[in-house]
Amino acid sequence: MKLPAFQDISATYKELPYKYLSDDYLVSHFTVAQRASCLLHHYKYLNEKFPSGLLRQILHGDLSVFETDEDGNLYDVKLGLSKPSECDHEGELSLHLRVNGTPVFNLSFTIVPGWVVGTQISDALLITRLQGMQGCFHLISLATSALHEVAPPALLFAALEGIASAFGIYAMAGVSATRQVSYGDDCADSLKEAYDDFFAAVGATLSPANLFLSPLPTQQKPLASIKKGHKTRTRKKRAFKQQVANDVCRLLREFR
Strands 102-113 and 62-70: unpaired
Q: What is the pLDDT of residue 11?
A: 84
What are 17-53's pLDDT values in tens digits?
999 999 999 999 999 999 999 999 999 999 999 999 9
pLDDT: which is higher, 134 or 124: 124
What are 175-228's pLDDT values in tens digits?
999 999 999 888 999 999 999 999 999 999 999 999 999 999 998 776 666 766
| Whether this model's pTM surpasses 0.75 | yes
What are 58-68's pLDDT values in tens digits?
998 899 999 99
Q: What is the pLDDT of residue 173?
A: 98
pLDDT: which is higher, 157 or 5: 157
Q: What is the pLDDT of residue 223?
A: 64
Q: What is the pLDDT of residue 224?
A: 63
User: HEC string of the chain?
Assistant: CCCHHHHHHHHHCCCHHHHHHCCCCCCCCCCHHHHHHHHHHHHHHHHHHCCHHHHHHHHHCEEEEEEEEECCEEEEEEEEECCHHHCHHHCCEEEEEEECCEEEEEEEEEEEEHHHHCCCCCEEEEEEEEEECCCCHHHHHHHHHHCCCCCHHHHHHHHHHHHHHHHCCCEEEEECHHHCCCCCHHHHHHHHHHHHHHHHHCCCEECCCCEEEEECCCCCCCHHHCCCCCHHHHHHHHHHHHHHHHHHHHHHHHHC
Q: What does the mean pLDDT of the chain come to?
A: 92
Burial class (CB in 10 A: 0-12, 13-18, 19+), 192: middle
The amino acid sitting at 152 is: P
> By mean pLDDT, which of 71-85, 90-104, 115-129, 190-204 is the weakest?
71-85
Q: What is the pLDDT of residue 171?
A: 97
Inform me whether the pLDDT recorded for 239 exceeds 70.
yes
pLDDT: which is higher, 230 or 140: 140
What are 127-184's pLDDT values in tens digits?
999 999 989 999 999 999 999 999 999 999 999 999 999 999 999 999 999 999 999 8
pLDDT band at 235 (very low <50, low <70, confident <90, very high): confident
